[in-house]
Each structure stands twice: as structure tokens, then as C-alpha cells.
Amino acid sequence: MNTTDTTDTTSTTARGAALREGFIRTYGSAPEGIWRAPGRVNLMGEHTDYNLGFVLPFAIDKNALVAVRRRTANEASPRLLEFASTYGGTTGPLPVTGIELDALAPGNVPGWAAYPAAVAYVLGQLPGVQLSGFELLVDSDVPVGSGLSSSHAIEVGTIVALNDLFGLELDATAMARLTQRAENGFVGAPTGIMDQSASLMSRAEHALFLDCRSLASHTVPLPLAAQDTAVLVIDTRVEHSHVDGGYAARRASCEQAAVALGVESLREITEVALLDRLEPELRRRARHIVTENQRVLDTVKALEASDLREVGRLLRASHVSMRDDYEISCPELDLAVQASLAAGAIGARMTGGGFGGSAIALIAVERIPAASASIRRAFAQAGYAEPSIFTVNAAEGAGRA
């Protein structure tokens, strides 16, 4: 399968043109530009980011497009922010959420608009940064609640737009840190730094290896096309959220384990034997992190050796670890993995934060139609909602569309 996806480019261009028209209809004048920020799939390294460990995600060919126009000093409300999206469809007038820049406070912007608002809030707090009001319109084809980082795509699309328009000269690492701060402090989700980094720093046809302690990163070629293999996403449609308890509880367990072990973060532990003195539940949580970090390093090696069988083995081991030790899977995700493997996938695992969302399967392209049918059958037999199944290609990180 060719990862330079011309359909994606075409559809992004067509969506961009529609977005421009929608912007003019909504706000009465044209945007100053349109920026694109992709969602992501994580190949390996789940919940390791906030433990300052390793992750290996890639940006996907599904993205948020963000159109923006700054307000000028002589307009009626120069410091008014307005947010609209095509989430509710594009026919008819798009609903607009408005708030004064100086009124922004954590928790006071409802719904999806909290994401761009959060970015304006953190940028506005930077010393020396003078924002004005602006109008913003989002269109995204990253499925919401699927674990493919639809919310981070909006945040990243917003920060790259504002970075350009206000001449902030922030580099990708600074933008990753700021969007994480936006997510943690304004939206209220205690998430790590992986998703923003993937959206900002990825390269087409590569995965992104990121050390979440130093934020040093490098890209790793994905030898998929050469081996007629693809990454299939099985979106279980079980909606997850990181503002709810499960994610925060796992994070708290890791912090507790680190304190008990006398280390700053679980990243510092590389031997499973060192976890013996933890009580059983904490030991299992920490064991997932320690073994998952190693699996990221091993996956990089396997990719460099073009050994997709080994990548598949690591994916399977990662899923077992998340299911049994970290306990963040759910019956639908387990079935997606099991049915993919039964249909001949080389490997499969849930991806993202868990408790719902998507699984990924590494699979020969020729097997995809039959595998998709049998995964759907398995879901129907179990009485689950029909999953959404599609392939993803490794796409370029965020930028001007």
C-alpha cells in the first residue's frame, strides 16, 4: 500500500476549499490561512509518556483543518474570540461560541471549543506575547472519541495557526509542551505529551520515536509498503474520555509506585525484578510501564531490521500487558484484537489511552477485505455495535494546509 496518499491530499484540498467558503458564510470575510494538524495512531508505548518513558506513534492521514482570521484594532470587539466547527454538519449557519480573550478561565468554555480556547489561554499567559481576538473555524475528519487524538489535532491546528499569525516563533517542542499545558490546565485532562508531539513532529512514511523525558526525537522508517502490509484501525465506537477517572487513576498508581521505589519516574526502572517489593496491583501497573518501554526500544530495532513478524509479536505482547497488567482494555477492544489475529493479522493491540476507542492491526494488504468482514461478524455475534474499520497511512506532521 502506498503511504503517499493522494486521496488524502485531494480530500484535504477539497475540505480546505469548503472550509474557506464556510468561514466567509459564518464570519463575513475570508480567513488569513488554513492550517492542518493530523490525528495519530500509537504503534507502541502506551501510558509511558507521563512516566517520562518512550513512545512510538505516527501521524495519520486524517486531520483537523483550522481556518483563522485575526481581528484588527479598529474592529468593534478587537479582543473577541469566536469558535465554530463543522461537527454538526455544514448546511445552514454554523453555531459560533464567543468569549473575550481576557475572560478565558479554565472550565468556562464548554464543548469542543475548550480546545482552541485552551491554546489561546496558555499563549496569552506567555511573557511578551500579545494576542488579539480572532475568528476560527474547524473541520476535522479524525473520528471523535476514537482514541485517535481528535482533540489534540484541534489544539495543534490552533497553535500552529496562532504561532504563524502572531509571529511567535515557537518550535515544535515548545508547541508540544504548551498544548499539553492547555490540555492539563484548561481542559482538565491529565494527559501526557505524546499526542501533540506526534501531530507536530511526524514525517510521512515514518514513525516518531520520542523520549518523553528529554523530548529528543527521531523518525523511524516504516517498511510497510515494501512488504505489502498496512495498519488497520478498528474503531470499536466505545467512546472514551481522559477527563474521567480511569486515566487519572492509572497515572496516580504510577506516581505512587515511583515514590515507593524511590525514583522520580518509572522510566528509571529497567528491571522487572525491582518491582517485587510493590503490592500486587501496583506491581502489575508498574510492570506494564517497565516492559512497555522496553517494547518501544525493541520495536524500533525490529523496524530498522524490517522485521514485521517481530513487530507483530511485540504488538501482541503489548496488548496482553495492557489487558492484564494495566487493565485499560475493554471487551470490545479485546475482541477487535482477537478477531484480527484470527483473521491473519501479524499483530494487533489497542492504541491510545484505552477504556474504549480503537485497536490497530498490522496486516497483509490482501487480507484486509476478508479480515474486515470477519471482525464485523465477530462484533455482530457478540452483540456489539458495528465497528468502523479503515487503514491509515503515516502522514506528515502539522503545518500550513
Which residues are marked as active site? 195
**Residue 235 in the binding site for ligand GLA (CB under 6 A):** no
C-alpha cell at 308: 514485521
Least separation in angstroms between residue 188's CB and ligand GLA is 13
Site string for ligand GLA, 132-151 (x = CB under 6 A): --------------------
CB of 70 or CB of 213, closer to ligand GLA: 213
Site string for ligand GLA, 165-204 (x = CB under 6 A): --------------------------xx-xx---------
Sequence-ordered alpha helix ranges (H) in 5-133: 6-27, 114-124
Rg (CA), the chain: 21
**Residue 157 in the binding site for ligand GLA (CB under 6 A):** no
Site string for ligand GLA, 49-88 (x = CB under 6 A): xx--------------------------------------
- Distance from the first to the final alpha carbon of the chain: 24
C-alpha cell at 153: 489535532
**Residue 292 in the binding site for ligand GLA (CB under 6 A):** no
Sequence-ordered alpha helix ranges (H) in 262-322: 280-304, 308-320
Q: How far apart, in whole angstroms, are the C-alpha atoms of residue 151 and residue 143?
A: 10
Could you tell me if 364 and 330 are in contact, meaning their C-beta atoms sit under 8 angstroms apart? no
Could you tell me the CA-to-CA distances from 221 to 3, 6, 206, 301, 399 in Å, in that order? 11, 19, 4, 11, 21
Least separation in angstroms between residue 103's CB and ligand GLA is 27
Question: Looking at 25-33, 46-54, 114-122, 136-144, which segment touches ligand GLA (CB under 6 A)?
Answer: 46-54
Q: Which residue of 47, 62, 237, 285 would you call a contact of ligand GLA, by CB under 6 A?
A: 47
Burial of 141 (0-12, 13-18, 19+ CB in 10 A): middle
CB of 194 or CB of 308, closer to ligand GLA: 194
Q: How far apart, in whole angstroms, are the C-alpha atoms of residue 84 and residue 19?
A: 11
Sign of CA dihedral 191, 384, 329, 302: negative
Q: Which of residues 236-275 bind ligand GLA (CB under 6 A)?
A: 242
**Residue 217 in the binding site for ligand GLA (CB under 6 A):** no
Sites of contact with ligand GLA (CB under 6 A):
42, 46-47, 49-50, 191-192, 194-195, 242, 352-353
